[in-house]
């Protein structure tokens, strides 16, 4: 079974630290991205999430949001944790970023 608590790094050099799950399956943490479309200084940003209790296959699903401290945007991540036969844990995620735009007409370009 996968344990989300701890430090995670991705192939681009970003890292996040996650707290232990509470009784409801929620967690908090911080995300420090290594890639951003900004000239501002990149800061570690808070995250909040929830993990679905593992089903019969034991590979838990989860989701979390990151409120970026250096940009007017929020990213939502969803994913699943996989544990291989050696016990190595891997998170497979998909993300959706929404940035602030000045008008509703600009909404089409606000999501990546």
Give the CATH number for residue 34. 2.40.128.30
- Asked if the structure places residue 1 within a domain, the reply is no
pLDDT of residue 37: 74
pTM for the model stands at 0.87
Residues in the chain, total: 112
Domain hosting residue 31, numbered range: 6-109
- Answer positive or negative: Cα dihedral of 51, 54, 57, 58: positive
> How many separate domains does the chain show?
1
CA distance linking residue 112 with residue 108, whole number of Å? 10
pLDDT of residue 27: 97
- pLDDT tens, per residue, the chain with 112 residues: 788 999 999 999 999 999 999 999 999 999 999 887 778 888 999 999 999 876 666 788 999 999 999 999 999 999 999 988 998 999 999 999 999 999 999 998 899 8
CA distance linking residue 66 with residue 73, whole number of Å? 9
pLDDT of residue 112: 87
- Asked if the structure places residue 34 within a domain, the reply is yes
């Amino acid at each position: 079974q996968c344990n989300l608590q701890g430090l995670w790094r991705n192939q681009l050099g970003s890292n996040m630290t996650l707290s232990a799950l509470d009784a409801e399956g929620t967690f908090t943490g911080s995300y420090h991205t290594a890639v951003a479309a900004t000239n501002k200084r990149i800061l570690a940003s808070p995250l909040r999430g929830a993990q679905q209790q593992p089903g019969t296959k034991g590979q838990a699903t989860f989701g979390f949001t990151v409120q970026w401290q250096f940009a007017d945007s929020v990213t939502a991540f969803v994913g699943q944790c996989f544990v291989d036969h050696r016990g190595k844990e891997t998170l497979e995620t998909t993300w959706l970023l929404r940035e602030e735009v000045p008008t509703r007409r600009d909404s089409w370009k606000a999501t990546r």
